[in-house]
Amino acid sequence: MNRAIIIILDSLGIGASADAAKYGDQNSDTFGHIVEACEAGLANNNMRSGPLKIPNLLRFGLGAAAVGSRKQSLPLDTHEAVQGAYGHAVELSSGKDTPSGHWEISGLPVLFEWGTFPKQENCFPAKLMQDLLAQGNIKGTLANKHCSGTQVLVEYGEEHLRTGQPICYTSDDSVFQIAAHEETFGLERLYALCDIAKKLVDPLNVTRVIARPFKGLTAATFERTENRKDLTTPPMGATLLDHIQDKNGTVVSVGKIGDIFAHKGVSYTVKAADNMGLVDQMLDQMDKVKEGLIFVNLVDFDSKYGHRRNVAGYAHALEEFDARIPELEAKLGQQDLVLLSADHGCDPTWPGSHHTREHVPVVFYGHYCGEAVKACNLGERASFADMGQTVACHLNLEPLNYGTACELTR
């Protein structure tokens, strides 16, 4: 079996989808707006300044993919020729959530609506919260509303420390989140409470319950830790990951991939505290695993910068990742195919703090079925599943149920 490395730049959308207005995301463009903000000097901090500097990602084809998606130019330094195959993909799934995006990339679009909670105070059903209190042996909860993960700590973190009551909140996505102090409440207690919550929200068709541990003593010092845990509804059918394991191949989850797939089709998981730690883990696994799939999610783009509407931080994170690409290239062999993509958008210039409905980049680099990937425009792909189908062909697997393989060696 050949080897594939899929790297999800979590939330790096490249332009609003045709149906973005349905989600309130018309004209959103995560990557494009970051590039424009950098060019205008609006994304400077003590870590970076000036135009966005991502020569390796541009060489792979990310810039060309973005221009094709938005159908207009971007102020990018493109003096080096594109070496990869590039295009953009339209999401066939109904939402703009993390599991749907990843599953569709893996050949399993979600063609139904997940359950969500209304945008109002006390947004969770009374019966759900009563059962959570009783089964979780807790006296009360805080928040019970739509809120960003950082703002909810500012508003309720100190009260949580005083009362011991966990903070329950949601977003536009199909998710129930519980934040609690990692030390005073306890990490294992938080995980156990989330296990209870997942069983309670399953009848509501809610995709995920997320444990959000944090540390610190005041609103000014609260910080989420790396011990986040996602409890996800298992995929409702076979994915690329299952097909690989059916052929006795190895599937390595780097970061939260295992949680996203409810560990279905995953051989084992390695984690790290941040993007650069995850890149370290990916490179280490490339030394160890020579066949199958290494599946990486670089979550900081979304959780630390997209949701927090931090344009400069997002830009710096892209530049940090770009600087590590030569290390990836040095470990590639003639049986290795790299895919760079995203699962949705999270435009840091867009109002609110939620995901945005966008096209995602489709960027292939390396070798496909033993031949070098040619620099070519793959155009608009009708589904994220085209990416999974392409990887399935490269790994010599049976075709997936969805998707049309891209032509990478013409």
Give the predicted TM-score (pTM) of the model. Answer: 0.93
* Helix (H) or strand (E) segment spanning residue 339: strand 336-341
pLDDT digits (tens, 9 = 90+) for 270-287: 999 999 999 999 999 999
Q: How far apart are CA 311 and CA 177, in angstroms?
A: 25
- Domain 126-232 in CATH 3.30.70.360: no
Per residue in 325-382, pLDDT (tens digit) is 999 999 999 999 999 999 999 999 999 989 999 999 999 999 999 999 999 999 999 9
Q: What Rg, from alpha-carbon coordinates, does the chain have?
A: 21
Please name the helix (run of DSSP H) or strand (run of DSSP E) that holds residue 134, with its range, or none: helix 126-136
Q: Give 402's pLDDT tier (boundaries 50, 70, 90).
A: very high
Assign 189 a pLDDT band (cuts: 50, 70, 90). Answer: very high
* Residue 77 pLDDT level (bands cut at 50, 70, 90): confident
Tokens representing 124 are 């969770």
pLDDT reading at 136 higher than 80:
yes
**Res. 389: pLDDT tops 80:** yes
With beta carbons less than 8 A apart as the criterion, state whether 111 and 273 touch.
no
User: Mean pLDDT over residues 195-220, rounded?
Assistant: 97
Cβ neighbors of 386 (< 8 A, separation 6 or more) are 89, 362, 403, 404, 405, 406
Question: Nearest 5 degrees, angle CA 57-CA 9-CA 174?
Answer: 160
Produce one character per residue of 89-125: b if its CB has 16 or more CB atoms within 10 Å, e if not: bbbbbebbbbbbbbbbbbbbbbeeebebbeeeeebbe
Confidence check: pLDDT of 167 > 80: yes
Average pLDDT rounded to a whole number, residues 51-75: 96
- Judged against a pLDDT cut of 80, whether residue 410 lies above it is answered with no
Residue spans of the domains in the chain: they are 3-110+236-394, 126-232
Q: Is pLDDT at 234 greater than 80 in this prediction?
A: yes
In degrees, rounded to 5, the angle at the alpha carbon of residue 85 between the alpha carbons of residues 363 and 21 is 50
Which fold does the domain 3-110+236-394 belong to in CATH? Alkaline Phosphatase, subunit A (3.40.720)
Q: Are 216 and 224 in contact (CB under 8 A)?
A: no
Average pLDDT, the chain: 97
Per-residue model confidence (pLDDT) at position 80: 81
Q: How confident is the model at residue 78 (pLDDT cuts 50, 70, 90)?
A: confident
Q: What is the DSSP string of 261-329?
A: TTTTT-SEEE--SSHHHHHHHHHHHHHH--SEEEEEEETHIIIIIITTT-HHHHHHHHHHHHHHHHHHH
| DSSP annotation of 16 | B
Reading the block at residue 187, the tokens are 């990490």
Average pLDDT over every residue of 176-196:
98
Backbone CA torsion sign across 380, 381, 384, 390: negative
For 97-116, what is each residue's pLDDT tens digit? 999 999 999 999 999 999 99
Distance CA 172, CA 277 (A): 29
Q: Which pair of tokens denotes residue 270? A: 């390695």
CA separation for the pair 251, 285 (Å, rounded): 11
Contact (Cβ atoms closer than 8 angstroms) between residue 330 and residue 279: no
Report how far residue 161's alpha carbon sits from residue 124's, in angstroms, rounded to the nearest whole number.
22
Are 3-110+236-394 and 126-232 equal in CATH topology?
Answer: no
Q: Helices then strands (H, E): number in the chain?
A: 13, 15
> Pick the residue with more confidence: 167 or 150?
167
Cβ–Cβ under 8 Å, residues 31 and 66 = yes
User: What is the reported pLDDT for 222?
Assistant: 97
| Percentage, residues of the chain above pLDDT 70 | 100
Q: Is the pLDDT of residue 61 over 80?
A: yes
Distances (CA, A) of 305 to 29, 33, 96, 139, 189: 14, 13, 17, 34, 28
pLDDT of residue 374: 97
Residues found in the chain: 410
Find the DSSP H helices in 331-407.
385-394
Determine the pLDDT at residue 45. Answer: 97
Of the candidates 98, 128, 130, 83, the residue with the CA atom closest to the CA atom of residue 301: 98
Highest averaged pLDDT of the listed ranges 146-150, 201-205, 222-226, 349-353: 201-205
pLDDT bin (cut points 50, 70, 90) of residue 151 is very high
